């Protein structure tokens, strides 16, 4: 049986091998994605973001348990910012959710972001497609929240959760990072912490200031370890997914995702073609330092092969 | 007096106007950068990164005080991840270091990252050039630490500091984000916290594992609010700067920065030329969903105007 057929039949070893192909961009990855594309678009994709220590892994762990009780098949893609020097993630699946290791309705995979043109590798979306084609119905994609990674996660997800933890002393910092605005649902984690209520009020005030609507429904307080609020959050997520499927937002988002991937791949093809070590580049660099040429002027010259 | 001459003469209002030109990419920005380029390369550029709540602003505030006592003129560029929806930073200079407001040897400026092709806007480097040309001798560029932003900050800086705070419960998470490897100096902040010594040991162990050398000298424990270790850290930074100037590393890094900016501008020019809403793009997107074409194939077709 070939790999695509194996994945469609729910063979987990074929899925694992396929994910490696996609992550490493090995030969066969492209062909695999082409074959699986018509079989994607069924799963609900949920992006989970928030600062380090906000409790993302703990929340996902609790949501997996609740989703399994409802019969969902759950896959998690944990995107770790990769090291600029080694090109790989420093820690992988080792320290991640291991409590579902014996449940074949749960699949957890870590992936390093390559950081080429953004914080989320374009192949993270392809990995989600593989989960989708393999019959998982609820997909989580998790990343450390900051800047570009969040925007990328929101673009690859149907629903985005943003987590904040009380008592971190950095609530203002979390807000200034702009990650609030990409969320569909805001989650205050560690809800049994005495400062959780204050953080919820702070969030509601910030969001009202920003003009967001239906706030009381969209800000959730969850104590994942005590299993408080988890079932309610999952119900909201699934309801939002069902509503988006009914009104066509789901299909539109899927088209946008494909379009976005084409444009990202095209931008990358362009960037790859640029010469990085030519006498022309050295000359242009010296002219900029001498005050003789602008950076954009030099970029144009580089693209046109030297005609300034 | 024109703007470039004003900046070179140390006119702070000309500098502020110039920074706005550069940040907003207004007419005249390019010409200004060309004029100032020959007058840059004197200041020491220090990148400061670390997770939200690690104490970056507090440390910089203390370093400014110590540097002023040595006669340095100090400028700070605080890069805030911008909101994907509004395109601007949610909070600006308002909550930032205000204790130096009456000292004309200190200049603090916030800038939103635009997130185009990375977390740090290319014009952040140009803003640092303006500070440099205006006669500031020590420049700090600060950003929330995660993935691409850190790599960008390291590339635009002569020295990079990475901060970690003890007791955040996320020391493993900070390590896995890979930001440790871009640092020249590692700073354990909140050094009067009882857990600071443990974090220092954890850092030393991680770094030794990664093959880093001169660790005892490069890991600093600082209690900025109690003014402990600040002077020592500043002395290390200035000594590293002087050494790099003497052995030519400083000049080489400056050439690399200019080269990197040319390539980034060229990649951006390429990406801007891509059509984002054409019948061809719609057709390619539908063919991908049908399992008829790969994303890279579609990207090639888009670049060649439709020849698949």
| pLDDT computed for residue A122 by the predictor | 63
Nearest to A295 among B147, B154, B261 (CB): B261
Nearest to B148 among A115, A154, A276 (CB): A115
Residue B151, pLDDT above cutoff 70: no
Residues A226 and B304: their CA atoms lie apart, in Å, by 56
Residue B102, pLDDT above cutoff 80: no
DSSP state, residue B121 = -
Among candidate residues B150, B163, B125, the one with its CA nearest the CA of residue B253: B125
Chain B residue numbers with beta carbons less than 8 Å from the beta carbon of A38 are 289-291
Query: Which residues 236-275 of A are in CB contact (within 8 Å) with B?
Result: 254-255, 258-259, 261-263, 265-271, 274
Nearest to A293 among B34, B263, B274 (CB): B34
Tokens of A107: 């699949």
**Which pLDDT band, with edges at 50, 70 and 90, does A178 fall under?**
low
Percent of chain A, pLDDT > 70? 81
Over range B193-218, report the average pLDDT.
84
Residue B138, pLDDT above cutoff 70: yes
Over range B247-272, report the average pLDDT.
88
Nearest to A300 among B80, B89, B269 (CB): B269
Residue A149, pLDDT above cutoff 90: no
Chain B residue numbers with beta carbons less than 8 Å from the beta carbon of A115 are 147-148, 151
Pairwise CB contact (< 8 Å): A175 & B33: no
Residues A178 and A157: their CA atoms lie apart, in Å, by 18
| pLDDT computed for residue A307 by the predictor | 60
- Least confident residue range of A127-141, A179-193, A246-260, B144-158: B144-158
Give the chain B residue nearest A164 (alpha carbons): B52
| pLDDT computed for residue B304 by the predictor | 86
Helix locations, A25-147, DSSP H: 29-36, 56-69, 122-133
Query: Which residues 111-140 of B are in CB contact (within 8 Å) with A?
Result: 113, 115, 117-119, 122, 126
Cα-Cα end-to-end distance for chain B: 56
Give B243 to chain A, closest Cα distance, Å.
22
Query: Which residues 184-243 of A are in CB contact (within 8 Å) with B?
Result: none
Domains defined along chain A, listed by start? 43-266 (3.40.50.300), 274-303 (no CATH)
φ/ψ bin of B269: left (φ > 0), alpha (ψ from -120 to 50), beta (otherwise): alpha
Residue A248, pLDDT above cutoff 50: yes
Query: Which residues 9-48 of A are in CB contact (within 8 Å) with B?
Result: 30-31, 33-38, 41
Give B280 to chain A, closest Cα distance, Å.
11
Pairwise CB contact (< 8 Å): A176 & B80: yes
pLDDT digits (tens, 9 = 90+) for A201-216: 888 888 887 777 777 8
Pairwise CB contact (< 8 Å): A291 & B181: no
Determine which of B122, B148, B286 to mutate to test the interface with A (most A C-beta atoms within 10 Å): B148
DSSP state, residue B182 = G
Over range B101-105, report the average pLDDT.
81
| pLDDT computed for residue A94 by the predictor | 34
**B181 SS3 class:** helix
Q: Which uninterrupted H or E stretch holds A74?
A: strand A74-81
- Least confident residue range of A68-77, A252-261, B267-276: B267-276
Nearest to B294 among A30, A274, A295 (CB): A30
pLDDT digits (tens, 9 = 90+) for B11-55: 999 999 999 999 888 889 999 999 999 999 899 999 998 776 788
């Amino acid at each position: 049986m070939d790999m695509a057929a194996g994945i469609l039949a729910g063979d987990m070893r074929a899925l694992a091998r396929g994910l490696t192909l996609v992550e490493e961009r090995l030969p066969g990855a492209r062909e695999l994605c082409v074959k699986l594309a018509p079989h994607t678009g069924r799963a609900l994709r949920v992006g989970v973001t928030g600062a380090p220590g906000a409790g993302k892994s703990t929340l996902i762990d609790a949501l997996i348990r609740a989703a399994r009780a409802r019969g969902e098949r759950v896959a998690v893609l944990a995107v770790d910012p990769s090291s600029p020097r080694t090109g790989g993630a420093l820690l992988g699946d080792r320290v991640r959710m291991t409590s579902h290791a014996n449940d074949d309705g749960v699949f957890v995979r870590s992936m390093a972001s390559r950081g080429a043109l953004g914080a989320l590798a374009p192949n993270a979306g392809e990995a989600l497609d593989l989960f989708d084609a393999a019959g998982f119905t609820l997909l989580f994609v998790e990343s450390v929240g900051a800047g570009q990674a969040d925007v990328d996660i929101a673009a690859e997800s149907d629903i985005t959760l943003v987590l904040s933890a009380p008592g971190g002393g950095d609530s203002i910092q979390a807000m200034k990072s702009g990650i609030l605005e990409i969320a569909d649902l805001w989650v205050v984690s560690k809800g049994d912490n005495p400062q959780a209520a204050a953080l919820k009020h702070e969030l509601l005030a910030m969001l009202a200031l920003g003009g967001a609507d239906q706030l009381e429904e969209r800000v959730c307080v969850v104590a994942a370890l005590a299993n408080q609020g988890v079932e309610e959050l999952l119900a909201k997520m699934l309801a939002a997914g069902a509503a988006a499927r009914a009104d066509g937002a789901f299909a539109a988002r899927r088209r946008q995702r494909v379009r976005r991937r084409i444009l990202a791949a095209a931008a990358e093809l362009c960037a790859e073609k640029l010469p990085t070590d030519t006498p022309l580049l050295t000359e242009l660099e010296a002219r900029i330092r001498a005050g003789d040429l602008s950076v954009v002027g030099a970029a144009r010259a580089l693209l046109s092969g030297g005609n300034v």
